Amino acid sequence: MRKSGFLVLFVALAFSAFAQQKELTVEQMLKGAPQKITKTLPQFVKWMGDNSFVLKHDGKTFLVDCKTGIEKEYTEVKTLEAKLINEVYVKDNDLFRRTDAGETRLTNNKDIEKNPTLSPDGNYVAFTRNNNLFTIHLSDNKETQLTFDGTDVILNGYASWVYYEEILGRPTHYRSFWWSPDSKRIAYMHMDESMVPMFPIYSEEGQHGYIEQTRYPKAGDKNPEVKIGVVGADGGSTVWAAFNEKDDQYFGLPYWKPDGSALWIQWMPRTQDNLKVYEMNLADGSKKEIYDEKQKTWIDLDDQGSRITFLKNGKNFILESDATGWNHLYLHDMTGKRISAITSGAFTVTAVNYIDEKNQTVYFTCRKDNSARFDLYKVKFDGKGLQRLTFGEYTHRSINLSPNAAYFITTYSNTSTPDVLALVNNKGQLIKELGSAKGEDYENTILAKTELLRVKSEDGKYDLPVRIVWPLNFDKNKKYPLMITIYGGPNAGTVYDGWQLSMQQQWFAKEGMIQVAIDHRASGHFGKEGVNYMHRNLGYWEMKDWITIVKWLIDNAGVDKSKVCISGFSYGGYMTCYALTYGADYFTYGLAGGSVVDWSLYDSHYTERFMDTPAENPEGYKTSSVLTYVDKYKGLLRIYHGTMDDNVHMQNSIQLIKKLEEKKKHFEFMLYPGGRHGWPGNQQMHSQNENNLFIYKNLLEKEMPKELLR
């Protein structure tokens, strides 16, 4: 399950500052046009070696000297060494290639080509057609079919739904093949999904409608059978990795060794508590174990290609692991033997930015000094010399290091400071501020006060983060309605200390509503150590921590306990429904979109990672189900769902609605015909309007201004 791209009006994150004198106009708030309050930062273009870079601002392009900070107008001159255009794409269901000489058609048939991918040397394109894998040699447009058994249930190089959604990731567009670095071979997944249950999704279109069938394994169902093979770019027999495809198992994103001599394969059993990395012999498919990690709860498969980083020396790799309870970096030799822990302690490493092999130094981003902020650090391979390179009480994002890490450019901010672009050297010294997002009217414009607070968990173990946007002219003697916007899933926090000006939140602050984002112990702020609380028990700890925060807000922040509203989509929809049932004594209103209501209705890989199967954990599935607590429901819930949601099936909302009806409970419900896990255009605007009408009627208790209608 991943966060939906769908946003309703009030869900946008917002950060604002103290100011004086004039208020925002209705036009500014409704059109989202903070004219003269903030402005666009200069645009970093690229590094020109280690000592200069190209920057755009005020309609011009400049070359900036890192040592002096001097800017000179810059005009790029194309040279013979400039990279030639070479790209492939799908148009009208066929493949085309564009080069400096123009466009060339590569295929011309009735079938659909998918995921065209150039080889690293640019001489081939690989793609799938009818669930078989093909290549075209671009020098002579010779097409070669690499696999021959593709059907509607046998997939070669094209992923089954659960692999696309949960393992390989949506950005792959179902692609499950990978070129070797030397362009000689392609690794691919072969999937048999014939045993995966079919889930019907109904479309209302036309006179008779139609059923869209999806192979979707729900918790405890059969998964697709998968094997990994390697085939030559010009065809020939596939060499299969030595796994038993009948085993109940998962394969993660594979890694080619940099010289293309072997393929490293991530494997785990269905229980998802044991990760192994194997090296596959390309000649005979035999494998040897490189890495073995076990955890009592679960291990996340890597879909970003970040778990393993090979060093250029060919002798080592750096691996990310959260086995200690916090995500850290470890140096290994190529046999898998651990040499040293590069980072350690109660903080989370979020990314490797650069590896200086000569000086045995790693530059990395982490959440160390404040879990709501991101900073750049460097440290030696042996874990010594840890140094923070970013500065101040800010979150630093968009870190861009020079080619050899002599300098970096950072965009930094906090809840009360608009973005600043700055040049910093690798000793952490600020060299030059390159631009600020503060506009000329920023200082004299009244914006709603925004704060980042911490509330102690009931058991005293965690300082739970809360980002709060106060109403304008807040009066501590008054009571205000509360709007909580959440997602809530494991390691999916929403509270960060950074700037973002949302005119929509400014509107509701002016209307007199307290708006907060809140995170629980398993949100990622407290590492895997905190996330592990969710094992076999989704919903419970999230709600326990959120109730603690709501009680604190009622006691300390002027919240009207009769007007506590929670809103979310997808996992956030689940938590909203759970709050209005299990947490009904504290949450009185809810806006729930695309909601899971019972984890037996969601997909196998995501659900079982945390919950195990329904057969293994029947009590956990019962206590985590919204349906279990319908008797407690006493507030007002607005449920909305897309009728063709292929991620969280509308079946979820229908089952909840039936329970509510059987118990004679009052609620609201809205369908979005044809909508998937989110919906665009006028349907999205309609959803925004309906949610805003709900807010005005129930929380603000007045008519919604006509200007707010979209």
> In the prediction, which pLDDT does 640 show?
97
Is residue 4 over pLDDT 50? no
Dihedral pair phi/psi, residue 544, rounded to 5° = -60, -45
Task: Express as a percent the part of the chain with pLDDT over 70.
Answer: 96
Among candidates 468, 461, 446, which has minimal Cα distance to 556? 468
Residue range 684-707: mean pLDDT, rounded = 94
Q: What is the CATH number of the domain that holds 626?
A: 3.40.50.1820
pLDDT in tens, 649-675: 999 999 999 999 999 999 999 999 999
SS3 category, 553: helix
User: Across all residues in the chain, what is the average pLDDT?
Assistant: 93
> In the prediction, which pLDDT does 7 show?
35
Pairing relationship of beta strands 559-569 and 480-485 according to DSSP bridges: parallel
Separation CA 67–CA 74 (nearest Å): 17
> In the prediction, which pLDDT does 35 show?
67
pLDDT in tens, 233-251: 999 999 999 999 999 999 9
Angle between helices 571-581 and 540-556 (to 10 degrees): 70
Separation CA 72–CA 67 (nearest Å): 14
Last residue of a domain, one of 29, 54, 73: 73
Residue type, 588: T
Separation CA 330–CA 570 (nearest Å): 35
Find residue 145's DSSP bridge partners: 134
pLDDT in tens, 474-508: 999 999 999 999 999 999 999 999 998 888 899 99
Residue 185, C-beta contacts closer than 8 angstroms, at least 6 positions apart: 179, 230, 231, 232, 233, 260, 282
Rg of the chain taking only CA atoms, in angstroms:
27
Separation CA 618–CA 623 (nearest Å): 9
> In the prediction, which pLDDT does 24 show?
87
Q: What is the separation, in whole angstroms, between the first and last Cα of the chain?
A: 30
Residue type, 693: L
pLDDT in tens, 154-206: 999 999 999 999 999 999 999 999 999 999 999 999 999 999 999 999 999 99
Is residue 78 over pLDDT 70? no
Residue range 331-360: mean pLDDT, rounded = 97
Confidence of residue 76 (pLDDT cuts 50, 70, 90): confident
Separation CA 622–CA 611 (nearest Å): 11
User: Is residue 414 assigned to a domain?
Assistant: no
Dihedral pair phi/psi, residue 149, rounded to 5° = -105, 15
Dihedral pair phi/psi, residue 579, rounded to 5° = -65, -40
Mind spelling out the 3-state secondary structure of 74-136? CCCCCCCCCCCCEEEEEECCEEEEEECCEEEECCCCCCCEEEEEECCCCCEEEEEECCEEEEE
Last residue of a domain, one of 73, 92, 122: 73
User: Is residue 631 assigned to a domain?
Assistant: yes
> In the prediction, which pLDDT does 17 show?
39
Structurally, the chain folds into a number of domains equal to 2
Is residue 11 over pLDDT 60? no
pLDDT in tens, 416-457: 999 999 999 999 999 999 999 999 989 999 999 999 999 999
User: Is residue 299 assigned to a domain?
Assistant: no
State how far the alpha carbon of 560 is from the alpha carbons of 102, 360, 513, 704, in Å: 65, 56, 10, 20
Is residue 124 over pLDDT 70? yes
Separation CA 8–CA 565 (nearest Å): 15
Residue 503, C-beta contacts closer than 8 angstroms, at least 6 positions apart: 24, 28, 29, 30, 31, 32, 33, 34
Is residue 15 over pLDDT 60? no
Tokens of 314: 């060919």
DSSP state string for 339-375? EEESS-SSSEEEEEEEEETTTTEEEEEEE-S-TT--E
Confidence of residue 540 (pLDDT cuts 50, 70, 90): very high
Is residue 143 over pLDDT 60? yes
User: Is residue 530 assigned to a domain?
Assistant: yes
Is residue 220 over pLDDT 70? yes
> In the prediction, which pLDDT does 611 show?
98
pLDDT in tens, 594-636: 999 999 999 999 999 999 999 999 999 999 999 999 999 999 9
**Under a CB-based contact definition with an 8 Å cutoff, are residues 366 and 349 in contact?**
yes
> In the prediction, which pLDDT does 6 show?
35
Separation CA 634–CA 649 (nearest Å): 25
Q: Checking phi first, is residue 539 left (phi over 0); if not, alpha (psi -120 to 50) or beta?
A: left
User: Is residue 636 assigned to a domain?
Assistant: yes
Last residue of a domain, one of 73, 91, 115: 73
> In the prediction, which pLDDT does 528 show?
97
Residue 24, C-beta contacts closer than 8 angstroms, at least 6 positions apart: 34, 37, 445, 446, 447, 503, 506, 510
Is residue 5 over pLDDT 50? no
- Residue numbers of the domain that contains 698: 449-708
SS3 category, 439: coil
Among candidates 24, 259, 215, 265, which has minimal Cα distance to 603? 215
Which of the pair, 21 or 206, is modelled with greater confidence? 206
Dihedral pair phi/psi, residue 593, rounded to 5° = -115, 140
Confidence of residue 415 (pLDDT cuts 50, 70, 90): very high
Residue 527, C-beta contacts closer than 8 angstroms, at least 6 positions apart: 322, 325, 326, 327, 346, 347, 348
User: Is residue 553 assigned to a domain?
Assistant: yes
Is residue 684 over pLDDT 50? yes
Tokens of 421: 């672009």
Confidence of residue 34 (pLDDT cuts 50, 70, 90): low
Is residue 16 over pLDDT 50? no
How would you class 478 by CB atoms within 10 Å of its CB: exposed for 0-12, middle for 13-18, buried for 19 or more? exposed
User: Is residue 137 assigned to a domain?
Assistant: no
Confidence of residue 20 (pLDDT cuts 50, 70, 90): very low
Task: Express as a percent the part of the chain with pLDDT over 90.
Answer: 88
pLDDT in tens, 557-576: 999 999 999 999 999 999 99
User: Is residue 506 assigned to a domain?
Assistant: yes
